Amino acid sequence: MQKLTKREDQIMQIVWRLKTAFIRDIIEQLPEPKPHYNTVATIVKILVKKGVLQSEMIGNTHQYSSAVDFEAYRDENLGSIKKKFFGNSFSKMMAYFAKEENLSEAEIEELIHMIKSNKNKKS
């Protein structure tokens, strides 16, 4: 999958959240200052060409939806994080996380549950 630019990424985040979107929906979600309609349309067209968005004609306007799943994109993006920030050491990373967030008892229980049940289930 092709790398996305900042703007492309921003638009994809919106589409992933909305599932399907018209240009106007994307603009609505973008923070001020809102870009010009055609600006968004241009980037969306690039995303279609890159194969990360697909479009369907609804009436006489395009409706867009993601053509790659969020999880795949996330996995690609996070692939090098551990290496980049923790010298590839899992335990260093976990120590960081554990220290960083003051988790409540309930959150800790939930997390432990998640870790145990998700074991070896990486999609």
Is 37 a binder of DNA (CB under 7 A)? yes
d(CA 8, CA 30): 12
CA 55 – CA 43 distance, rounded (Å):
13
Strands (E), the chain: 20-21, 53-58, 61-66
Contact flag: residue 5 with DNA (CB under 7 A): yes
User: Which of DNA, a copy of itself, none does residue 94 bind (CB under 5 to 8 Å by kind)?
Assistant: a copy of itself
The answer to whether residue 98 forms part of the interface with a copy of itself (CB under 8 A) is yes
- Which of residues 14, 16, 18, 22 is near DNA by CB under 7 A? 22
Q: Determine, following the binding rule CB under 8 A, whether residue 19 of this chain makes contact with a copy of itself.
A: no
Task: Look at residue 76 and give its three-state secondary structure.
Answer: helix
